[in-house]
Structure 1
Amino acid sequence: MRWLLTLLVIVALFLHNLPYLIRDQAVIWLRSQGVETASLKALNVNWLSGEIEILELRAESDGHQSLNIDRLFVKLDYAALTDQRILVRTIQLKGLNSGIVEQAPSLWLGPIDLNALSGDSSTQETSDTGSAWLPGIDDIQLEDIRWYTAMAGQEHQLSIEQGELKDFHFWNKEQPTALNLDGSINGAPLSLKTEMTPLPEEKRSTLRVNISQFPLHSVTALIEPGLKAFIDLDLKISADFKGESGQVKQSGSIRVSDLKLARDGLDVQQSDLNWKGDVAVSLRDGQPDNLSVKGLLTGNKLDLKQPETALQLAGYTLSLNTQLEGKQQSLSQKGPLNLTGLQASMGDQSLQSATFDWDGAVALVLNQGEPKDLHVNGGLSGQGLTLLQQKQQVKLGRYALNAQVNSADMVAFDIQLPSTELQQFSLSAAANPLLAIQKLMVKQAQVKLPLQVKTGPVSVDDLLVLGENKHLLKLARTRLKSVQFMPEQAAALGSLSMAGLDANVMLSPEGKMSDVDWLLAQLSPPSDDKAVEEKSTAETSKPLRISLKSFDLVGENQINFTDQGAEPAFSSTIDLETLTLGAVDTGTVQSTPFGLQAKINQFATLDLKGEAELSGDEHNADWQLNLKNLELPPLSPYAERFTGYYLNSGQFNLDAKGTLAAGKIDGTNQMRLNRLTVDQRDSDKVAAFSQKITMPLETAIMILEDNDNNIELDIPVSGSLSDPEFGYQSVINELAGRGLKTAAISFLTKSLQPYATLISLASTAMEASEKGTFITLTPVTFTPGSAALNGQGKEYLGKLSDMLQERKAMRLNICGRAVSADGPELMPALVAANKKRKKPLPQEALQKELQQKLLDLANQRAATVKQHMSASVDNSRLFLCFAKVEQAADAKARVELGL
């Protein structure tokens, strides 16, 4: 018994002293590892209860992290050993302050060089036979843990105020294990609550994590040194797996704030990014099978910049309802996308939109990862859109459209746009407004790629086109029934209707439409060789076939015309009451009816109708035109420019009919001029115009004007369009020249028949000056030596008087003529009288007296004609001219008459 008692005492003493021995050896070992200061306050072991306690372990060295443990308590369950279980009832760790630091070439745990601890690296054979012993832990409690790591260029700090792991037993695999942590990581408050069953084949876990203001850059600095951001997590994550198949679900919120990224010219800043929703991922045999995302993504103040590119968003919201089917390889998304304060730029192009909203669904089928089948259905709207490219700027106050997009192969697309609406559209260049539309609507549009466009009704309200000085065009309403367009093939337009036209056409002093030229210059892009090359290529392509079902302009419409090149400046207003056009098709030759009713300068009326072939080679046409009461004085600047005359008064009326067939024009023009009076302003132009009509315009007016001060002309026009000399100017010449001349001669011939055979016109102004008249009428003949009218002369003068009564503006020049045949008739009387003189005159003096008698005879003949006509014609219209004696042997005794 004594030896047994002694043995028990020795064992008791050994067990009692063993903790002290271990404590001292631990301190010695720490110092042997280079620890400068090492201490262990106590190592307490309760062999009966299986409790082990370590108090105040301290290990410190200058330049290294310390290794401090305030208390480590472990309690074992001896009873479980009988069931071949190693059960740790509790582990309590408090006041751990240490970390792992990489200082090349060593890795340090606190002040301990872990590389120095590496022993024999030779592998030891292990038995393949599994152990019958099963471990387990009832509870692990952590308190006041401070852990620091500095590895691979990164530093992290983990602080655990309270932590607990409960119920982890290999013999009870279905029992849930809980892990809870409260503390901080890298200064960010952290709360982690987990319940899991990691041991059975069907594994389940639930994780609740809450992190506030975690510096994301603390873990990304090595791979993305230019990234800085803070993240907040409030998530619940659950997983349920059997083998490699299962599902992971996430719900809760994620917030990223103060995001900054700078890399290779890229600068990204994001004030706030938030996600709140649910995510579910299913795996089958380790491969993704299904992804479901439902939630809301919001962000504020996004600013992205890189060379020649920038993007800014004041805010954005994306509602996600996304499904990704792995087996079917399909992706679908439903929900709205809202952007505010959008600003984007690339090079010299920029885009701004106060709001941008999309609400719809997108479905996409993938074929081996490549997009295959696409379906989009939704609505797009926004406000305050601005597009800027170089000097041109487009603005939209509001826009909205509904869209359906379908593509089976991502090559051919079918886009349906049931409704598209644009409001407050404007186009400007270099701060100069060019174009504005209050409202544009397109219904039932369809776009197919390769490009084909079809639309239903198109409406435009309040169209405004501006020039440099004033607006070029205002149009209150435009309605187009349909559009069909195929590039390089055809453009088919349905019925087009317009109303409320207000247009300004202005010619500069140089005769150019400067406002139009200015507008085209503002719209034209900078020229380059590529553009010129593309234009040349386009010019050789087949002409586009254009068709229009009908066109009509109704309501109150006005065109204001101004010509600054006229002196004084000319202006005119045309009020269009109706303008109609029938079907037009450049692909076929067909006759298109047209009609126009308008007022000119408030009082004149214009009515035009007819038909014309607008395509083909011949352009056959017929027309009827009626113009009434056109005031002529406003046209004086043009009359002076082309004729040298100023129009003091007058009205113009025209009835015109004509046809164009086989390239030949044939028409009649019935004109009436009321109370036309003119003044000469440019003598050179007057002379040239008089030469053209072979008489002064005043003379033509005098002849043609009736007693009501009206001139009526019936002038045909004909010619061939193939003749390069035939054009609008030749028509004007025809009307002005041959028309006036023919009308004048025709009237005179008709009025004086049968005494009109010797009517002639002066060919030049010099000839007219020599004759004293532009129009020479048939003279009144006399018997040689006589001043008495014969019967034929009286009859002729009667007809002439009647004509002057019919044309009260006519003035008649009466020029007496004596001829050599009158001399023999007068000489006998002179000879007889000479003989009775006391002193007869010599022959030479007698000849002089004969010449005076001939001149007197010529004056008597003129006076006789005037005296005869004054009975019915006012003397103020009858003018005697200087009498002459003609010596030509064949000259006839006469009185010449001229107008």
Structure 2
Amino acid sequence: MTRQHFRHFVFLPFVVIAGLITLIWLITPFVAKHYLSAYIEEQGQELSIDHLSINFFPPKMELEEVAIHNQNQDTLTLKHAVFEVSIFPLFTRTVTISKASIDGLNIVVDQRQNDWIIAGINTAQFLSEEPQIEKQETTSEEVVESSEPWHIKLPSFSFTNSHFHLSRQADNDSPIESDTVTIQNFSIKDLSGSELNWQGKIALAALLNEATVGIKSQFSYSPQTTKADVEIDKTSLPLSSFAHFLPAPYNQGNGTLGLKLSFQFLQEQVGDVPSYQLNNLDLNTQVENLDLMLNEQDHVATALTKLDIQQSSLQFVSAEQMSASANIHLESKQTQFTQGETQASIGNTQLSIDILEVVAENDLGPKITGTNVTFSSQALDSQLAKNKRIAAWTEAGFNGVNFSAQGDNFNAQLAELTISDLTLSELLNSQPALAPLAHIGTIKIANLEADQDGALIKSIITDSMTASLFLDANKNIKNLIFVDAEAQTAPTSFESAAPPQAADAENAMQNTQNAEQNPAFKAPYHVILDNYEMTGESSLYMEDNSISPALKRTLNIDTLSLHNLNTKDKDQAATFALKARNGKYSTIQNDVKIWPMADKLTMQSEFIIKEAELPPYSSYIADALGYQIDSGQLNLDLTLEADNGKLNGNSHLLLREFDLGGSKESSSAIKAGAMPLNIAVGILKDSDNNIDLNIPLTGDVENPEFGWQNFLMVPIRNALFQASSSYLMQTFVPYANVISVAKFAGEQLLKIRVEPLLFIAEDAHLNTSQDNFLEQLSALMKDKEESKLKACGVSSFLDLGIDQPPSDDLDPASKEAAKKLAVQRSEHLKDYLIAQGIDSSRIFLCAPEVDLAKNSKPRIELNF
């Protein structure tokens, strides 16, 4: 080629092409600015660009200080952006973006009803239907040429210091809600891929209002396998930053969620079924100052709650083929739960599970196992209402718990459970203040094993336990807060207890026989307790306001124990022991050996009471004995055995200074009605003023008529009544004109009546017809030196000189005269008795009465 040819065909075309490219390179920014500005002006805004450069070799575009603004604000600003593509990899069908960064991008985004306005541009104009483009048939050569995919590489991309100002208004009547999304740093490194195969690294540090999010991930993706290492750190989510996205009532809550999470994710295709795995999962969350309404009644609040899940893994193929394991630690401080009026608050709580596993491999459902579970809690207070405490403790916890569960089967072991300063059922702010139903200094449960069939407990120890029962006038337990007073049922008294019916006994017998004959019969959930002990200063306080005077007694418990309780083995005997004191001197001792699962009641027991003061319990015993107790002290030695329901025993009863009827009633030995036996019972007393009885006891619990009230109390009542009634009948025979005695009500009560002293009408003086009556009355008062007589003079209509009662009330003068006559009769009787040597202080005169009844007679009513 000659120089001239080179100049015409090579050099000059090259210069022209180079010039054209240079010219295009020079004018492209100006053309771009022109058309961009024209478009932005069409949208009612202005565009400013400090610097715009476009290069072709290599392809590169760079922008600096870009702004779009309207009359009110900047709708878009950009500090700096650059994009560069390497040329030479293009020849190998590889797009390599060598430079890519965006810095300082700020965009205003408005949502108004159905429109989205981004940087002042309404996107609705781009949503019109696009014309369909007919598909062109491709030749085989084109198919072959396009079969080799393009590769894309992005060594580094950064998106920094950018803000998205979001506002939305659902309709014209709704308030405008605003949010700011800040991209502090979003980076992509070593991104490469083609078609559906990709790998790379991403990192994001962003804010949503005041909420911060940090995410890092290295991933690889293909249709067959997906792998990703994910780390979420420096994430703090105040509820106030996104509360307006939440439905009511959650949007009214407060609190901050901190989150730290890392895991390895693997997805593989096993045949046609995808398999998912999470490995090395570590999760750390903490909630601070949470105050959240869950619904109209439920509320939760916590000062600080932390949840750590470490060394966790999850594999999932299907619901029937999955496994998961984790190490879990939960810690909570100052947490409160409220449901209606029921609330529970906990000071500090910690829960730790070394390994929690969930495995599903068959149709039985997932198998859940836990290893070395520990729990501790401080300052629990749960309340049914503001003035009703369900339970409270200062400290509680357990350790050494291992468990497994699958379907209806489970197995659990517990090394130790301890609860300190436990309060149960307390009425708060009551006037007067009431002690809780129970308070226990310490509960310790050691070595518990349980499954779906039963539980085995090595030992339970309660220390310093106090129980308190406050009964109101209707026998409702006032400090039992779980049941309303209206719903409580008064304890059934001895007298009102209905005896079992024969049909009931027959049914019970038939059920027992069926259970023995049916090999498929399974006993209920069994409990095996090796040892229970009550230690420390323990007591039971009872205040019963249903009787008068109210009973207030404290039973101090020195020993209470239960050994070898086994509801699984009918041949195993359990032993129960109790030693207690009431006051300084009254003691109770009870030793029982019982076979709880025997077919019929089988036991051996001895019950000893010493120096028990009886008057406070008079109202209870009176229902059984039929008489009030004024004074007395009880010593009781009750030996009782039961052999397959047949009871046999003896009660040695020693009553000191026993007096039935009360000190006031003791002078009322002759009042009309049912007679208290305080006078007659004296015949049973020995020279030391004691009653000493040995009462044999026999019975059959299978008898439909059997009742514990009859078995224990009726023999005592009969022994007292039989001797004392004979004595009483003999005692008053010499005074038959004054006193009449008769048995009634099955010879369990005595009817005693003091006859009145009758007078001649209109006469106030004593006469010879009254001599026998007056002599026996005088002798009776001399015989019963403690007795006091009340004489009540009564005038009849006969004293007015008329044969029939008047139809109207008496005039004042007649009534005054009748009362005067009645007084004179009482005074004459008192004078007579004093003359017979009766002390005047033993004779009382009551107010005179006028009896206008048809059968009334002139008389003096006498009462002792």
Normalised by the length of structure 1, the TM-score is 0.59
- Distance in 2, matches of 1:546 and 1:687, equals 57
Does 2:582 correspond to 1:600?
A: yes
Post-superposition Cα deviations, 1:641-690, rounded to whole Å, max 9, x if no partner, equal 76686655432111111112232222111122223345547979999999
2:656, 2:573 → 1: CA distance?
36
CA contact (8 A) 1:613 1:620 kept: yes
Q: Percent identity?
A: 15
Residue 319 of structure 2 is aligned to residue 382 of structure 1:
no
Q: 2:389 aligns with which of 433, 442, 449?
A: 433
Of 238, 241, 244, 2:189 maps to: 238
**Structure 1 residues 376 and 411 mapped into 2: Cα distance closer, same or farther (>3 Å)?**
same
3-state SS in 2 of match to 1:736: helix
- The answer as to 2:253 corresponding to 1:297 is no
Q: Secondary structure at the residue paired with 1:703?
A: helix
Supply the AA of the counterpart residue of 1:548.
L
Q: Is the 8 Å Cα contact of residues 605 and 627 (structure 1) preserved in structure 2? A: yes
Partners of 1:458 and 1:315 in 2: CA distance: 34
Inter-CA distance 584–180: structure 2 relative to 1 (3 Å threshold): closer
Q: Is the 8 A contact 1:438 1:463 kept in 2?
A: yes
Alpha carbons 1:311, 1:345 under 8 Å: kept: no
CA distance in 2, matches of 1:765, 1:729: 32
2:299 alignment partner AA: S
SS in 2 for 1:634: helix
1:283-432 correspondence to structure 2 within 5 Å: 283-284=221-222, 288-293=226-231, 295-302=233-240, 303=243, 305-306=246-247, 312=253, 314-327=255-268, 329-332=276-279, 333-342=281-290, 343-346=292-295, 348-361=297-310, 362-367=312-317, 372-403=322-353, 404-409=355-360, 411-431=366-386, 432=388
Asked whether the equivalents of residues 691 and 763 of structure 1 are also in contact (C-alpha less than 8 Å), the reply is: no
> Map of 1:715-726 to 2, 5 A cutoff?
715-726=695-706
Is the 1:94–1:144 Cα contact (8 Å) retained in structure 2? no
- How far apart are the structure 2 equivalents of 1:448 and 1:763? 78
Structure 1 position 665 matched with structure 2 position 665: no
Q: Which moved more, 1:370-379 or 1:765-774?
A: 765-774
8 Å CA contact 2:266, 2:278 repeated in 1: yes
Alignment pair present for 1:565 and 2:528: no
- The residue type paired with residue 510 of structure 1 is N
The alpha carbon displacement at 1:561 in A equals: 0.9
Is 2:519 the counterpart of 1:550? Answer: no
Q: 1:388 and 1:250 mapped to 2: Cα distance?
A: 43
Asked if 1:448 is matched to 2:405, the reply is yes
Q: Does 1:137 align with 2:57?
A: yes
Cα deviation, residue 171, structure 1: 7.1
Change in CA separation of 1:100 and 1:549 when aligned onto 2, cut-off 3 Å: farther
Paired AA for residue 343 in structure 2: Q
The answer to whether the 8 A contact 1:505-1:561 is kept is: yes
Give 1:420 deviation, angstroms: 1.2
The 1-side partners of 2:326 and 2:485 are apart by: 38
Question: In the alignment, which of 178, 192, 200 is matched to residue 248 of structure 1?
Answer: 200
The residue type equivalent to 2:684 in the other structure is L
Contact 2:45-2:68 within 8 A present in 1 as well: no
Determine whether 1:459 maps to 2:418: yes
Q: Distance in 2 between matches of 1:685 and 1:281?
A: 104
Name the Cα RMSD after superposition.
5.0
| Cα distance change, pair 101–615 in 1 and its aligned pair in 2 (3 A) | farther
Which deviations, in whole Å up to 9, do the C-alpha atoms of 1:219-241 show, x marking residues without a partner? Answer: x99xxx98844232313311243
Shift of 1:353: 2.4
- The separation in 2 between residues aligned to 1:367 and 1:691, in whole angstroms, is 89
The answer as to whether partners of 2:560 and 2:577 remain within 8 angstroms in 1 is yes
Give the aligned partner of residue 506 of structure 1: 470
User: Residue 459 of structure 2 corresponds to which residue in structure 1?
Assistant: 495
SS at match of 1:408: strand
Counterpart position of 1:196: none
Q: Is 1:273 equivalent to 2:222 in the alignment? A: no
Report the CA distance between 1:349 and its aligned residue. Answer: 2.8
Does structure 2 conserve the Cα–Cα contact (< 8 Å) formed by 1:203 and 1:240? yes
Is 2:116 the counterpart of 1:178?
no
User: Is residue 614 of structure 1 aligned with residue 625 of structure 2?
Assistant: no
Aligned counterpart, 1:803: none
Contact preservation (8 Å) 2:652, 2:695: yes
Q: Write the distance in 2 (CA, Å) between the matches of 1:338 and 1:93.
A: 55
Instruction: Indicate if the aligned counterparts of 2:261 and 2:283 stay in contact, CA closer than 8 A.
Output: yes
1:610-660 per-position Cα deviation (integer Å, ceiling 9, x unaligned): 211223441211111221111234334546676686655432111111112
Q: Distance in 2 between matches of 1:565 and 1:181?
A: 85
Distance in 2 between the 1:226 and 1:621 partners?
78
Query: What's the CA shift for 1:203?
Result: 3.2
Of the structure 1 ranges 412-421 and 633-642, higher mean CA displacement relative to structure 2 is found in 633-642
Q: Cα offset for 1:330?
A: 0.8
Q: Where do 1:3-402 residues align within 5 Å?
A: 50=19, 73=26, 96=33, 98-99=35-36, 137-138=57-58, 140=60, 142-143=62-63, 146=66, 157=76, 159=78, 163=82, 165=84, 168-169=87-88, 177-180=98-101, 182=103, 184-186=105-107, 203-215=153-165, 228-241=179-192, 243=194, 245-251=197-203, 253-258=204-209, 271-275=210-214, 277-284=215-222, 288-293=226-231, 295-302=233-240, 303=243, 305-306=246-247, 312=253, 314-327=255-268, 329-332=276-279, 333-342=281-290, 343-346=292-295, 348-361=297-310, 362-367=312-317, 372-402=322-352
Q: Deviations over 1:180-220 (max 9, x none)?
A: 555534269x9xxxxxxxx99583521122033223569x9
Q: Does 1:476 pair with 2:428?
A: no
Counterparts of 1:774 and 1:287, CA distance in 2:
108
Instruction: State whether residues 367 and 404 of structure 2, in contact with CA within 8 Å, keep that contact through their aligned partners in structure 1.
Output: no
- The one-letter code of the counterpart of 2:557 is L
> Which sits farther off after the overlay, 718-727 or 459-468?
718-727
Letter in 1 for 2:98: T
Distance 1:554 1:377, change over 3 A: same
1:737 matched to 2:717? The reply is yes
For 1:675 and 1:645, the matched residues in 2 are separated by 16
Q: How far off its partner does 1:562 sit?
A: 1.1
Cα offset, 1:560, TM superposition: 0.5
If the length of structure 2 is used for normalisation, what is the TM-score? 0.62
Alignment gaps of 5+ in structure 2 = 48-54, 110-118, 120-148, 269-274, 488-520, 743-781, 786-864
In the TM superposition, what are the counterparts of 1:513-528 in structure 2 within 5 Å?
A: 513-516=477-480, 518-521=481-484
Q: Closer, same or farther in 2 for the Cα pair 1:172/1:622, shift >3 Å?
A: same
The one-letter amino acid paired with 1:435 is A
Amino acid at match of 2:305: F
Are the structure 2 counterparts of residues 363 and 491 from structure 1 closer, same or farther at C-alpha, using a change threshold of 3 Å?
same
CA distance in 2, matches of 1:522, 1:46: 108
1:341-390 CA distances to partner (integer Å, 9 max, x unpaired)?
33251453333222221112231112169971111212111112222223
CA contact (8 A) 2:99 2:156 kept: no
Looking at structure 2, the residues matched to 160 and 53 of structure 1 have their Cα atoms a distance apart, in angstroms, of 27
Aligned to 1:625: 607
Cα deviation per residue 1:323-351 (whole Å; 9 max; x = unaligned)? 10123631131131111133251453333
3-state SS, counterpart of residue 730 of structure 1 = helix
Q: Which has the higher contact order (CA 8 A, sep 6+)?
A: 2
Q: Is the 8 A contact 1:381 1:399 kept in 2?
A: yes
Structure 2 equivalent of residue 586 of structure 1: 567
